[in-house]
Amino acid sequence: MSAYRRPFLQSWEAAYTAGFTLEHLRRRAMTVGMALAQQRARCLIGFDTRFLANLFAQTLAQDLVAQGVTVLLASTPTPLPAIHHALDQKQADCALYVSARNRPYYIGGLLLIADEKSGLSIAPTSAPLPDVEFPPATPNIATIDIRTPYIEALRQAIDLDAIRRLPLTFFVDAMAGTTAGIITTLFGEGGQTRAIEINRDPDPLFGRGSPQPFEASLHRLRKLVRESDSHLGLAIAGDGTALAVVEPGGEVLEPFEAALLLAGHLATHYRQRGLVIAPPPAPNSPLQAQARQLAAWQEATGMKLELAGDGLYTERQPVVAMTASGEVALSRWSSCPDGLLAGLFFCEAAARSNGGLRTLYTALRAQFGVQ
Protein backbone atom coordinates (compact mmCIF):
# COMPACT_ATOMS: atom_id res chain seq x y z
CA MET A 1 0.00 0.00 0.00
CA SER A 2 1.23 3.45 -0.87
CA ALA A 3 2.49 6.07 1.55
CA TYR A 4 1.86 8.95 -0.86
CA ARG A 5 -0.31 11.56 0.84
CA ARG A 6 -3.09 12.81 -1.41
CA PRO A 7 -5.49 15.29 0.19
CA PHE A 8 -9.09 15.61 -0.88
CA LEU A 9 -8.70 18.34 -3.47
CA GLN A 10 -12.21 19.77 -3.16
CA SER A 11 -15.52 18.79 -1.63
CA TRP A 12 -19.07 20.08 -1.77
CA GLU A 13 -21.90 19.21 0.61
CA ALA A 14 -25.48 20.41 0.95
CA ALA A 15 -28.80 19.28 2.38
CA TYR A 16 -30.98 17.24 0.03
CA THR A 17 -33.37 19.41 -2.04
CA ALA A 18 -32.39 22.59 -0.15
CA GLY A 19 -29.03 22.77 -1.92
CA PHE A 20 -28.13 19.29 -3.07
CA THR A 21 -30.00 18.56 -6.27
CA LEU A 22 -29.25 16.48 -9.34
CA GLU A 23 -28.78 19.63 -11.39
CA HIS A 24 -26.25 21.15 -8.98
CA LEU A 25 -24.39 17.85 -8.78
CA ARG A 26 -24.22 17.52 -12.57
CA ARG A 27 -23.01 21.11 -13.02
CA ARG A 28 -20.07 20.49 -10.71
CA ALA A 29 -19.12 17.22 -12.34
CA MET A 30 -19.43 18.76 -15.83
CA THR A 31 -16.74 21.30 -14.91
CA VAL A 32 -14.42 18.41 -14.16
CA GLY A 33 -15.45 16.68 -17.37
CA MET A 34 -14.59 19.69 -19.55
CA ALA A 35 -11.06 19.80 -18.13
CA LEU A 36 -10.57 16.04 -18.34
CA ALA A 37 -11.67 15.94 -21.97
CA GLN A 38 -8.92 18.42 -22.84
CA GLN A 39 -6.35 16.50 -20.79
CA ARG A 40 -7.49 13.12 -22.13
CA ALA A 41 -7.46 11.89 -18.56
CA ARG A 42 -9.38 9.01 -17.00
CA CYS A 43 -11.88 9.49 -14.20
CA LEU A 44 -12.98 6.95 -11.61
CA ILE A 45 -16.48 7.56 -10.25
CA GLY A 46 -17.36 5.98 -6.91
CA PHE A 47 -20.23 6.25 -4.47
CA ASP A 48 -21.17 5.33 -0.92
CA THR A 49 -24.37 3.83 0.54
CA ARG A 50 -26.08 7.22 0.92
CA PHE A 51 -29.55 7.92 -0.51
CA LEU A 52 -29.53 7.57 -4.34
CA ALA A 53 -25.71 7.78 -4.46
CA ASN A 54 -25.44 4.89 -6.93
CA LEU A 55 -27.94 6.48 -9.34
CA PHE A 56 -26.27 9.89 -9.06
CA ALA A 57 -22.92 8.24 -9.86
CA GLN A 58 -24.36 6.53 -12.94
CA THR A 59 -25.76 9.85 -14.17
CA LEU A 60 -22.42 11.62 -13.73
CA ALA A 61 -20.69 8.77 -15.55
CA GLN A 62 -23.03 9.16 -18.53
CA ASP A 63 -22.47 12.93 -18.57
CA LEU A 64 -18.69 12.60 -18.58
CA VAL A 65 -18.73 9.91 -21.26
CA ALA A 66 -20.83 12.23 -23.43
CA GLN A 67 -18.09 14.85 -22.98
CA GLY A 68 -15.50 12.41 -24.32
CA VAL A 69 -13.98 11.40 -20.97
CA THR A 70 -12.81 7.86 -20.30
CA VAL A 71 -14.81 6.83 -17.23
CA LEU A 72 -14.57 3.87 -14.88
CA LEU A 73 -17.63 3.44 -12.69
CA ALA A 74 -17.29 1.57 -9.39
CA SER A 75 -19.44 -1.54 -9.41
CA THR A 76 -20.39 -1.37 -5.70
CA PRO A 77 -20.41 1.14 -2.83
CA THR A 78 -16.78 1.70 -1.99
CA PRO A 79 -14.78 2.99 1.00
CA LEU A 80 -12.82 6.14 0.36
CA PRO A 81 -9.46 4.40 1.10
CA ALA A 82 -10.24 1.93 -1.69
CA ILE A 83 -10.61 4.81 -4.15
CA HIS A 84 -7.25 6.20 -3.08
CA HIS A 85 -5.72 2.74 -3.49
CA ALA A 86 -7.10 2.52 -7.04
CA LEU A 87 -5.54 5.89 -7.85
CA ASP A 88 -2.25 4.76 -6.30
CA GLN A 89 -2.38 1.76 -8.65
CA LYS A 90 -2.88 4.10 -11.65
CA GLN A 91 -6.36 2.80 -12.43
CA ALA A 92 -7.39 6.39 -13.18
CA ASP A 93 -5.99 9.92 -13.08
CA CYS A 94 -8.59 11.32 -10.69
CA ALA A 95 -11.82 10.36 -8.97
CA LEU A 96 -15.23 11.79 -8.23
CA TYR A 97 -16.83 10.31 -5.12
CA VAL A 98 -20.57 10.81 -4.67
CA SER A 99 -20.60 11.02 -0.91
CA ALA A 100 -20.99 13.38 2.01
CA ARG A 101 -18.58 11.10 3.85
CA ASN A 102 -19.73 10.73 7.48
CA ARG A 103 -22.18 13.60 7.62
CA PRO A 104 -25.84 13.13 8.65
CA TYR A 105 -28.20 11.24 6.39
CA TYR A 106 -29.91 14.35 5.00
CA ILE A 107 -26.66 15.67 3.48
CA GLY A 108 -25.38 14.76 0.02
CA GLY A 109 -22.02 15.61 -1.46
CA LEU A 110 -19.30 15.25 -4.06
CA LEU A 111 -15.55 14.87 -3.54
CA LEU A 112 -12.88 15.52 -6.14
CA ILE A 113 -9.75 13.47 -5.51
CA ALA A 114 -6.83 14.46 -7.71
CA ASP A 115 -3.31 15.76 -7.72
CA GLU A 116 -3.12 19.33 -6.47
CA LYS A 117 -1.38 20.31 -9.73
CA SER A 118 -4.16 18.93 -11.93
CA GLY A 119 -6.01 22.24 -12.16
CA LEU A 120 -9.34 20.48 -11.68
CA SER A 121 -12.28 22.11 -9.94
CA ILE A 122 -15.85 21.22 -8.98
CA ALA A 123 -17.03 24.81 -9.23
CA PRO A 124 -20.43 24.64 -11.00
CA THR A 125 -20.56 25.37 -14.72
CA SER A 126 -23.17 27.72 -16.16
CA ALA A 127 -23.23 25.90 -19.49
CA PRO A 128 -26.53 24.33 -20.56
CA LEU A 129 -27.01 20.79 -19.33
CA PRO A 130 -28.25 18.11 -21.72
CA ASP A 131 -31.53 16.40 -20.87
CA VAL A 132 -31.12 13.36 -18.70
CA GLU A 133 -33.28 10.39 -17.80
CA PHE A 134 -33.47 9.76 -14.06
CA PRO A 135 -33.24 7.16 -12.74
CA PRO A 136 -30.78 6.40 -15.52
CA ALA A 137 -31.12 3.38 -17.73
CA THR A 138 -28.48 0.72 -17.26
CA PRO A 139 -25.36 2.55 -18.45
CA ASN A 140 -23.14 1.16 -21.18
CA ILE A 141 -20.10 2.20 -19.17
CA ALA A 142 -17.17 0.11 -18.00
CA THR A 143 -17.45 -0.77 -14.33
CA ILE A 144 -14.57 -1.65 -12.08
CA ASP A 145 -14.29 -3.66 -8.88
CA ILE A 146 -12.10 -1.57 -6.60
CA ARG A 147 -13.08 -3.29 -3.35
CA THR A 148 -11.28 -6.56 -4.13
CA PRO A 149 -7.82 -5.03 -4.82
CA TYR A 150 -8.22 -2.95 -1.67
CA ILE A 151 -9.06 -6.05 0.37
CA GLU A 152 -5.98 -7.77 -1.04
CA ALA A 153 -3.84 -4.76 -0.05
CA LEU A 154 -5.23 -5.00 3.50
CA ARG A 155 -4.42 -8.70 3.50
CA GLN A 156 -0.79 -7.92 2.67
CA ALA A 157 -0.53 -5.14 5.26
CA ILE A 158 -1.31 -7.16 8.39
CA ASP A 159 -0.42 -10.56 9.83
CA LEU A 160 -3.72 -12.36 9.35
CA ASP A 161 -2.28 -15.68 10.46
CA ALA A 162 -1.37 -14.22 13.87
CA ILE A 163 -5.02 -13.28 14.32
CA ARG A 164 -6.77 -16.29 12.77
CA ARG A 165 -4.92 -18.96 14.73
CA LEU A 166 -6.24 -17.75 18.10
CA PRO A 167 -9.75 -18.20 19.54
CA LEU A 168 -10.60 -14.50 19.49
CA THR A 169 -13.96 -12.78 19.06
CA PHE A 170 -14.34 -9.31 17.59
CA PHE A 171 -17.53 -7.33 17.06
CA VAL A 172 -17.57 -4.94 14.10
CA ASP A 173 -20.17 -2.22 13.59
CA ALA A 174 -20.19 -1.33 9.87
CA MET A 175 -22.60 1.57 10.56
CA ALA A 176 -24.55 0.67 7.38
CA GLY A 177 -21.59 1.99 5.39
CA THR A 178 -19.16 0.99 2.68
CA THR A 179 -16.92 -1.33 4.71
CA ALA A 180 -19.61 -3.93 5.38
CA GLY A 181 -18.34 -7.46 4.85
CA ILE A 182 -14.66 -6.62 4.48
CA ILE A 183 -13.35 -7.76 7.87
CA THR A 184 -15.43 -10.95 7.77
CA THR A 185 -14.08 -11.61 4.27
CA LEU A 186 -10.50 -11.17 5.48
CA PHE A 187 -10.89 -13.47 8.47
CA GLY A 188 -12.80 -15.97 6.35
CA GLU A 189 -13.54 -19.52 7.35
CA GLY A 190 -11.22 -22.13 8.80
CA GLY A 191 -9.51 -19.95 11.39
CA GLN A 192 -10.32 -19.85 15.09
CA THR A 193 -11.10 -16.13 15.15
CA ARG A 194 -14.70 -14.94 14.89
CA ALA A 195 -15.65 -11.55 13.50
CA ILE A 196 -19.31 -10.75 14.16
CA GLU A 197 -20.61 -7.86 12.11
CA ILE A 198 -23.61 -5.70 13.00
CA ASN A 199 -25.36 -2.95 11.03
CA ARG A 200 -23.96 -4.42 7.85
CA ASP A 201 -27.05 -4.03 5.66
CA PRO A 202 -27.14 -0.82 3.61
CA ASP A 203 -29.34 1.88 5.10
CA PRO A 204 -29.41 5.08 3.01
CA LEU A 205 -30.65 6.99 6.08
CA PHE A 206 -28.08 5.51 8.53
CA GLY A 207 -30.77 5.01 11.14
CA ARG A 208 -31.59 8.73 10.74
CA GLY A 209 -28.21 9.64 12.16
CA SER A 210 -24.61 10.00 11.06
CA PRO A 211 -22.31 7.12 10.07
CA GLN A 212 -19.66 8.62 12.36
CA PRO A 213 -18.63 6.52 15.39
CA PHE A 214 -18.03 9.45 17.72
CA GLU A 215 -21.42 10.96 16.92
CA ALA A 216 -23.31 7.75 17.70
CA SER A 217 -23.97 6.11 21.05
CA LEU A 218 -22.72 2.71 19.83
CA HIS A 219 -25.04 1.32 22.50
CA ARG A 220 -25.57 -2.05 20.80
CA LEU A 221 -21.88 -2.57 20.03
CA ARG A 222 -20.82 -1.63 23.56
CA LYS A 223 -23.45 -3.95 25.07
CA LEU A 224 -22.40 -6.88 22.89
CA VAL A 225 -18.73 -6.42 23.73
CA ARG A 226 -19.39 -5.95 27.45
CA GLU A 227 -21.77 -8.89 27.87
CA SER A 228 -19.87 -11.43 25.78
CA ASP A 229 -16.46 -13.01 26.09
CA SER A 230 -15.13 -10.85 23.26
CA HIS A 231 -11.77 -9.16 22.90
CA LEU A 232 -12.70 -5.79 21.38
CA GLY A 233 -15.25 -3.96 19.29
CA LEU A 234 -14.71 -1.74 16.27
CA ALA A 235 -17.06 0.85 14.79
CA ILE A 236 -16.00 1.87 11.29
CA ALA A 237 -17.29 5.13 9.79
CA GLY A 238 -19.51 5.03 6.74
CA ASP A 239 -16.72 6.05 4.33
CA GLY A 240 -14.09 3.85 6.01
CA THR A 241 -11.78 6.64 7.20
CA ALA A 242 -12.53 6.75 10.94
CA LEU A 243 -13.01 4.27 13.74
CA ALA A 244 -13.86 3.94 17.40
CA VAL A 245 -12.43 1.13 19.53
CA VAL A 246 -14.46 -0.51 22.28
CA GLU A 247 -12.43 -2.28 24.96
CA PRO A 248 -13.68 -5.55 26.56
CA GLY A 249 -15.47 -3.68 29.36
CA GLY A 250 -17.63 -1.83 26.82
CA GLU A 251 -15.90 1.53 27.12
CA VAL A 252 -15.08 3.52 24.00
CA LEU A 253 -11.40 4.48 23.99
CA GLU A 254 -10.88 8.17 23.43
CA PRO A 255 -8.83 8.99 20.30
CA PHE A 256 -5.78 10.10 22.35
CA GLU A 257 -5.57 6.69 23.97
CA ALA A 258 -6.32 4.79 20.76
CA ALA A 259 -3.57 6.68 18.90
CA LEU A 260 -0.98 5.83 21.56
CA LEU A 261 -2.00 2.16 21.67
CA LEU A 262 -1.82 1.90 17.87
CA ALA A 263 1.57 3.63 17.73
CA GLY A 264 2.89 1.37 20.49
CA HIS A 265 1.87 -1.71 18.52
CA LEU A 266 3.55 -0.44 15.35
CA ALA A 267 6.69 0.40 17.30
CA THR A 268 6.87 -3.03 18.95
CA HIS A 269 5.94 -5.31 16.07
CA TYR A 270 6.82 -3.27 12.98
CA ARG A 271 9.81 -1.34 14.35
CA GLN A 272 8.24 1.94 13.34
CA ARG A 273 9.84 5.11 14.66
CA GLY A 274 8.88 8.70 14.02
CA LEU A 275 6.10 11.19 14.61
CA VAL A 276 2.73 10.48 16.21
CA ILE A 277 0.05 13.19 16.13
CA ALA A 278 -2.83 12.65 18.53
CA PRO A 279 -5.70 14.85 19.72
CA PRO A 280 -5.30 16.07 23.32
CA PRO A 281 -7.17 14.12 25.98
CA ALA A 282 -10.67 15.38 26.68
CA PRO A 283 -10.79 18.09 29.40
CA ASN A 284 -12.41 15.74 31.92
CA SER A 285 -10.36 12.71 30.90
CA PRO A 286 -8.49 10.70 33.54
CA LEU A 287 -5.72 10.51 30.95
CA GLN A 288 -4.78 14.16 31.30
CA ALA A 289 -1.17 14.05 30.21
CA GLN A 290 1.72 15.47 32.15
CA ALA A 291 4.99 16.31 30.41
CA ARG A 292 6.90 13.61 32.27
CA GLN A 293 4.33 10.95 31.28
CA LEU A 294 4.51 11.90 27.62
CA ALA A 295 8.31 11.90 27.79
CA ALA A 296 8.29 8.40 29.32
CA TRP A 297 5.98 7.10 26.60
CA GLN A 298 8.15 8.60 23.87
CA GLU A 299 11.29 7.08 25.34
CA ALA A 300 9.67 3.66 25.65
CA THR A 301 8.37 3.60 22.06
CA GLY A 302 10.99 5.64 20.20
CA MET A 303 8.21 7.89 18.92
CA LYS A 304 7.86 11.66 19.03
CA LEU A 305 4.41 12.71 20.19
CA GLU A 306 2.62 15.92 19.25
CA LEU A 307 -0.86 16.88 20.46
CA ALA A 308 -3.01 18.51 17.79
CA GLY A 309 -6.67 18.44 16.88
CA ASP A 310 -6.03 17.55 13.24
CA GLY A 311 -2.64 16.43 11.95
CA LEU A 312 -3.80 14.52 8.88
CA TYR A 313 -2.57 16.81 6.13
CA THR A 314 0.71 18.06 7.44
CA GLU A 315 3.58 17.92 4.95
CA ARG A 316 5.32 15.58 7.36
CA GLN A 317 4.71 11.85 7.27
CA PRO A 318 3.58 10.78 10.75
CA VAL A 319 3.59 7.10 11.64
CA VAL A 320 0.13 7.64 13.15
CA ALA A 321 -2.05 10.72 12.88
CA MET A 322 -5.47 10.63 14.54
CA THR A 323 -8.17 13.24 14.88
CA ALA A 324 -10.76 13.79 17.59
CA SER A 325 -13.38 12.32 15.24
CA GLY A 326 -11.43 9.06 14.89
CA GLU A 327 -9.95 9.57 11.43
CA VAL A 328 -6.58 7.86 11.40
CA ALA A 329 -3.77 8.00 8.86
CA LEU A 330 -0.91 5.49 8.73
CA SER A 331 1.62 6.97 6.33
CA ARG A 332 3.63 3.83 5.70
CA TRP A 333 0.59 1.91 4.51
CA SER A 334 -2.11 4.22 3.26
CA SER A 335 -2.44 7.38 1.19
CA CYS A 336 -5.51 8.60 3.05
CA PRO A 337 -7.13 8.11 6.47
CA ASP A 338 -8.08 4.45 6.80
CA GLY A 339 -10.08 3.41 9.84
CA LEU A 340 -10.51 -0.13 8.55
CA LEU A 341 -6.76 -0.70 8.30
CA ALA A 342 -6.25 0.79 11.77
CA GLY A 343 -9.00 -1.47 13.13
CA LEU A 344 -7.24 -4.53 11.72
CA PHE A 345 -4.04 -3.46 13.46
CA PHE A 346 -5.99 -3.30 16.73
CA CYS A 347 -7.16 -6.88 16.12
CA GLU A 348 -3.54 -7.83 15.50
CA ALA A 349 -2.43 -6.05 18.68
CA ALA A 350 -5.01 -7.98 20.70
CA ALA A 351 -3.80 -11.25 19.17
CA ARG A 352 -0.12 -10.55 19.79
CA SER A 353 -0.52 -9.43 23.39
CA ASN A 354 -0.77 -11.80 26.32
CA GLY A 355 -4.13 -10.82 27.74
CA GLY A 356 -5.25 -9.00 24.61
CA LEU A 357 -6.28 -5.39 24.37
CA ARG A 358 -7.20 -5.24 28.05
CA THR A 359 -3.55 -5.76 29.01
CA LEU A 360 -2.37 -3.10 26.59
CA TYR A 361 -4.74 -0.34 27.66
CA THR A 362 -4.37 -1.21 31.34
CA ALA A 363 -0.59 -0.81 31.04
CA LEU A 364 -0.98 2.49 29.19
CA ARG A 365 -3.41 3.85 31.77
CA ALA A 366 -1.13 2.81 34.60
CA GLN A 367 1.64 4.79 32.93
CA PHE A 368 -0.64 7.83 33.12
CA GLY A 369 -1.56 7.12 36.73
CA VAL A 370 -5.04 5.72 36.01
CA GLN A 371 -6.09 2.60 37.86
Q: Provide the mean pLDDT of the chain.
A: 90
Determine, yes or no, domain membership for 43: yes
Number of domain units in the chain: 2
**Residues 108 and 190 placed together within one structural domain of the fold:** no
**Residues 92 and 56 placed together within one structural domain of the fold:** yes
Q: Tell me the pLDDT tens digit for each residue of 228-241.
A: 988 999 999 999 99
Angle between helices 147-157 and 80-88 (to 10 degrees): 90
Neighbouring CB atoms inside 10 A of 21's CB total 13
Question: Which of 205, 334, 190, 360 has its CA nearest to residue 267?
Answer: 360
Q: Tell me the pLDDT tens digit for each residue of 164-180.
A: 988 999 999 999 999 99
Supply the range of the domain harboring residue 259.
Answer: 158-367
Question: Which of 214, 217, 211, 248 has its CA nearest to residue 233?
Answer: 248
Contact criterion met (CB below 8 Å) for 173 and 199: yes
CATH number where 190 lies: 3.40.120.10
Question: Which of 108, 90, 99, 96 has its CA nearest to residue 67?
Answer: 96
Q: Tell me the pLDDT tens digit for each residue of 44-70.
A: 999 999 999 999 999 999 999 999 999
- In the chain, which residues have pLDDT < 50? 1-4
Q: Which of 125, 146, 167 is a domain's end point?
A: 146
Determine, yes or no, domain membership for 121: yes
Reduced to 3 states (helix: H, G, I; strand: E, B; else coil), residue 19 is coil
